[in-house]
Structure 1
Amino acid sequence: MNYLIARVNDHKEKYRKIIADNTVFYNLPSNLKNHHEYTPTYKLEDDEWYSVNNFSKKDFCIELIKDKFDTTSYKPLTKAEPCNVTYLCAFQDNTVYYFQRVFKHSVLERKKAVILGDEIAVKENPKQIILSDNADAIYVINEDTLYFRKLETISPIFVGIDVLYREATKKEVSDFLGQTFIHTGEGYGVEKVGKANRRRIAIAIENFNKLKKEQKTVVIKYTNDYYPQLNFDGNSFTIKSEDDMKYLLYGLEQLYYTTPATNEKRVANSVSRILVNGK
């Protein structure tokens, strides 16, 4: 038996029953094996998925997954409720959960339409929710793994999962700008640091703080060598703008590289570790 339920905007009774039969609502993608443990520094290829292992142990895992699946207490979805649905969940073969966000454009309002089939007729269709070809998130029980492609799409389903791609707090940004190798100028400060750079700072400070003192010195020299446009006096970089901050953070994350054949300097927008001998 397969089940399709809906999450609605009702704090007391969150879920509604839609269908319980042998319908296959979603198919398991054949390329699901092409997955990468989620990291903000990796950009997916078209045939790849992000993954989060040991998902049921995470704070942002929802009760629907943690508890035994049981729809007996759920009310049926009424004709008036499709516009109140925030996401769909299909539970299939007792092994896989499929989740789909429901946006306004996913709900077709009642309209008259010409039905073309064995019998041509004008009928008034009820409200309909369009099922996507691919689910936005897939949880495989026996792997305890969640698969997805866009973190921002599934964040409202798994509240708190955006901690995987968090922004640095105001204090963290302030502490970062207070580093001895950074000097701010022309009014640039904590309040001027935008969302994108706050996210980069959250990643950079975690990785940079793990380095030994001599390694940090190497990284700072590497940054200056690759991006000399940043004002560097031998001890600190003068950061006057969001672009200055971005290029400094690229350096701290060691994203600059040189092509071996053409000797062209570039910056990587996606990073994945290469394992050597399984390490």
Structure 2
Amino acid sequence: MPEWVEIIIRTLATIVALFLITKGLGKKQLSEMNVFEYITGIVIGDIIAVHATDVDSNLFYGVIAAFLWFIIPWGAEYLSMKNKTLRDFIEGKSTVFIQNGKIMEDNLKKERYTIDELQEALRDKNIFRAADVEFAVLEPSGTLSVLPKKEYRPLTAKYLGIEVPPDKQPETVIMDGKVLHEPLANLSLNVNWLETELDKLNVSIENVFVGEVDSDGQLTVDLYDDKIAVPSPTEKPLLLATLKKCQADLELFALATENEQAKQLYQKNSKKLKSAITRITPYLK
């Protein structure tokens, strides 16, 4: 067998093995790794690279070595899930760097973290003074988690006392010009509803690159042709405007009628409708 053919076969085999090993180690291996996982990734990558290109090496031995480097971290991860002490030893503990605006110098030295590195990490969080931080902790993954003091946190609807509607997960119902039936069913909708909404926008499914339905059941689409402007959904603004018009009409009827009983009825229902509009306005904006 020519060497170039053997290298191709070895490479394909090691790619499959590396893919299966990475999948077996879980998604955390792809994002935030502890020291053990970091070492494992380096060693497995080195084993795969050597046995993929070295035709004199025994591929079977390489697979065995990679499998051992897979099974040992996997076993350690499984045991650490059952034992907090072992988990702290393998994954490490969080280290407090700032508390009540005060930098913990001893903890910085313990983690070999300089003040320049700390300030750089704070600037990444848009914080330029350590005194503005309530709590900052270095996670075992190496990332810095920061909690600013209350007066420096962004305003939220809760702080302002504003009622906001709950959000549900948006669903992608069209992708690459094709209907995705499962997300559509998750929203308790069907293809007929989708076609009706597309007709309102004067758009055909084949021309849609991505179509999404938000938590309020409104469809927004992105077309293949970026030069075509698609109107924004108008159902909610129109409904709000219609309710306000009805409330205004009730007030006008109350002013126009000379029948005292009818006037009180109009005024009573106008107040009820106004109260209802106030409560649902956050949901319709």
> Normalising by structure 2, what TM-score?
0.25
Greater relative contact order (Cα < 8 A, sep 6+): 1
The structure richer in strand per residue is 1
Q: Return the index of the structure with the highest Cα Rg.
A: 2
